[in-house]
């Protein structure tokens, strides 16, 4: 009986949403609410940035603003993280690390 309860409690703690580690490249935009989003090159799927700690987030914003400039040029970013899907069907990149940011657009 005790083993059954232990197994059940272990199964209950398994995350429902599957997340895969991924390197994503795409055009960077911000939603109306200020959430960073990436439109992936090739697939065109919209991927939201998950939670970032403050220092990496502010460094990311500073670098984005430098690249975009006052003219708000398009920005191409390469980001690594765990891709998951919310219950609403949105893609979210968590535990992320910004690999590169440069001026540009997806080709094609």
| C-alpha span between 22 and 12 (Å, rounded) | 26
Instruction: Please check whether residue 100 is in contact with residue 77, taking contact to mean a CB–CB distance below 8 angstroms.
Output: yes
CATH architecture, range 17-103: Beta Barrel (2.40)
Spatial distance between the Cα atoms of 57 and 37, rounded to a whole number of angstroms? 13
Which pair of tokens denotes residue 29? 């935009």
- pTM metric for this prediction: 0.75
How do the pLDDT tens digits run along the chain, 108 residues long?
444 434 333 333 344 455 678 999 999 998 888 889 999 999 999 999 998 888 988 999 999 999 998 888 999 999 999 999 999 999 999 999 999 999 999 986
Distance CA 76, CA 12 (A): 40
């Amino acid at each position: 009986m005790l083993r059954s309860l232990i197994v059940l409690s272990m199964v209950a703690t398994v995350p429902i949403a599957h997340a895969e580690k991924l390197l994503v490249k795409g055009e960077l935009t911000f939603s109306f609410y200020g959430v960073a989003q990436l439109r992936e090159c090739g697939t065109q799927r919209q991927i939201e940035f998950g939670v970032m700690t403050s220092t990496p987030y502010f460094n990311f914003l500073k670098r984005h603003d430098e690249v975009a400039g006052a003219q708000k040029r398009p920005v191409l970013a390469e980001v690594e993280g765990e891709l998951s899907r919310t219950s609403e069907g949105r893609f979210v990149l968590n535990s992320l690390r910004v690999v590169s940011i440069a001026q540009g657009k997806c080709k094609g």
